[in-house]
Amino acid sequence: ADASGTRFRPHVKSHNSPTIAALYREVGVTAITVSSVEMARRFADAGWDDITIAFPLNVRALPELRRLAAEVRLGLLVDSPDAAAALARIEAPVDVWLDIDVGYGRTGVSWDDGAALATVLAVAQRSTRHCIRGVLTHAGHAYRVPDVPARVALWAEVTDRMGAARDVLAGQDTALKLKISVGDTASCGVVSRFDGVDEVRPGNFV
């Protein structure tokens, strides 16, 4: 990550341990990824102050999201107009990421659905206190790829698709400086550099 100028934001869900996460600090990690609001609260209470919740915004969790946003630098994912509209109900500024589906099929807007991407972005931009950071994906289907060369090829495909999604959104607003965030140990762990990606979020490497 250092060689590529890529931010390393490890996912803590595989151990869910503030004690183990504290080891990250010893090598200079300052930001983490979590998979739930409850996990975000646990690690915020442990002193982490830059946290991305890598799961689409849940409107039922808005009361706790408001509290977290007032306490830490909070990254939130949106993957629908409804989720994007809910940002207006969070008073403190948050970092907004558009959740992109690059082939896993679990969550996110399809990387090649330009109309849907533009719609979610437009709704998110109505909440002007927040910052649109970029596009984020979890390529979970990489875990189903058995051999290293195929995983390397999948990494290239994922990064190409994320670049395409970013370009579509940048075309909607040329003032946006969008980042690309990719997470999964299966592909991150087999490439030697992360060129073209601004942030990686592996979790199963510990």
pLDDT single digits (tens) 80-139 = 999 999 999 999 999 999 999 999 999 999 999 999 999 999 999 999 999 999 999 999
CB count, 10 Å around CB of 97?
27
Residues in the chain: 206
Residue 110 or residue 205, greater confidence: 110
Strands 109-110 and 131-138, bridge-based pairing: unpaired
Region 175-188: mean pLDDT is 95
152-168 confidence digits (pLDDT tens): 999 999 999 999 999 99
Share of the chain above pLDDT 70, in %: 100
What burial letters (b/e) apply to 154-192, b meaning 16+ CB within 10 Å? bbeebbebbebbbebbbeeeeebebbbbbbbbbbbebbe
CB count, 10 Å around CB of 106?
11
Cα–Cα distance between 68 and 43 in angstroms, integer? 11
- The per-residue pLDDT for 150 is 97
What pLDDT band is residue 205 in, cutting at 50, 70 and 90?
confident
The residue with tokens 């948050």 is 94
